[in-house]
Amino acid sequence: MALTPNYVRIATEEAWAPAWLLERYRKLIAEKPASWDPGFRSLWGFFTGATPRATQLAARIQDLGAQRIADMDASGIAKQLVLLTAPGVQVFDAPTGTALARDANDELNSSMKKYPERYAALAAIAPQDPRNAVKELERCIGLGFKGLVVNSHIQGTYLDEPKYWEILEAAAALDVPLYIHPNTPPASMIEPFLPRGLDGAMYGFAVETGLHLLRIIQAGLFDRFPKLRIVVGHLGEGLPFWLFRLDFMHASMVRANRYEGVKPLKKKPSDYLKENVWVTTSGMQWAPAILFCQQVLGVDRVLYAMDYPYQFVPEEVKVTDELPIPDADKKKLYQTNAERVFRL
């Protein structure tokens, strides 16, 4: 597929995992009791298995060389913003997670240097070790990384909790975006999802990640850190559809003084979603949904992503190419929004 002359396609939620991390995932599954993190076991018990879907994904997700470049060329993708796949290093104890994050970032940095025109990257951190997570973020930004990724919940906890605020403060101070990437729901909420296979990309990812972002908004963290910028995938994990109801119900709860954890905000919840949050099209190459998000959030707030290699369907690029929008807006979607948000 030839590149359209008016723009280049930048894909902004593209997953990677080194072979050694997948081996550690296998070891966790083998050694931990069956009740330990059922979401992790569901996700990586499958993708470290021997089915055709699992083996194909495992081969692609480890590759940062010829295979990935060939796939990008086949689908017309000029550049990938690469991030460490869920759950990253967030399932390990704090010292182990911190050490593994550094190893992963160093390996990814080497590939960026080898293919500087094809890859940019987000830094992996171990948020379960907040102080060292900030140090690793600062190191990676110095190396040329474009932001950081947190694979949603941190062993059942969320970034709105005060112990994690120094990570948010650092991202705001460094003026780099935080990508909240989905994870399977934690043990405390996953039980009703599992019997019908709803724990992953079909629904559980969106529920858990949308919850995470709403907790940050409800906690007033965009008031505390007004320069904080957050990116979420899958067209906002359903939240753009809820803008009216979020505003209505938040105002109602504040008036009633119903919850200790819900206080007045300087703005409406929808304002933060329009001013501090960007969404990507990862896994959601569906014209009505893309157009809706552009309408309610603004054309400057929606970025293209493929969700490689989990949803590597080259034909889906055609859906975005054929959106009934002006060429200038299409260039924003594919290229200039990403360049601005991630300073590519």
pLDDT tens, 21-54? 999 999 999 999 989 999 999 999 999 999 999 9
Catalytic residues: 307
Angle between helices 130-143 and 165-174 in degrees, nearest 10: 20
Residue 1 confidence (pLDDT) = 43
Distance of CA 159 to the CA centre of its chain: 14
Q: According to the model, what pLDDT value does residue 6 have? A: 87
Two tokens at 245?
């109801």
CA separation for the pair 333, 10 (Å, rounded): 9
How far apart (Å, rounded) are the C-alpha atoms in residues 146 and 148?
Answer: 7
Residue 4 lies inside a defined structural domain of this protein? no
> How far is Cα 94 from Cα 81, in angstroms, rounded to an integer?
26
Which residue type, as a one-letter code, is found at position 266?
K
CB-CB contact of 134 with 166 (8 Å): yes
Residue 85 lies in a domain: yes
Q: Where are the beta strands (DSSP E) in 174-316?
A: 178-180, 230-232, 277-280, 302-303
- The HSE-up count of residue 46 (CA atoms within 13 Å, CB side) is 12
130-143 helix and 94-114 helix, angle to the nearest 10 degrees: 10
Token duo for residue 11: 């894909």
The DSSP output letter for 242 is G
On average, the pLDDT of the chain sits at 96
Confirm whether 2 is domain-assigned.
Answer: no
Residue 1 placed within a domain? no
**Residue 87: cis peptide before it, omega within 30 degrees of 0:** yes
- Contact (Cβ atoms closer than 8 angstroms) between residue 310 and residue 283: yes
**pLDDT band for position 338 (50/70/90)?**
very high
The reported pLDDT for the residue numbered 5 is: 54
CATH of the domain at 60: 3.20.20.140
Residue 5 lies in a domain: no
Residue-range definition of the domain harbouring residue 135: 10-342
Instruction: Determine, yes or no, domain membership for 275.
Output: yes
Closest CA to 40 of 103, 84, 89, 105: 89
| DSSP notation for 26-40 | HHHHHHS-TTS-HHH
pLDDT reported for residue 2 = 46
The average pLDDT across 127-143 equals 98
Q: Residue 127: inside a domain, yes or no?
A: yes
Residue 143 lies in a domain: yes
- Give 228's pLDDT tier (boundaries 50, 70, 90): very high
Number of domains within the chain:
1
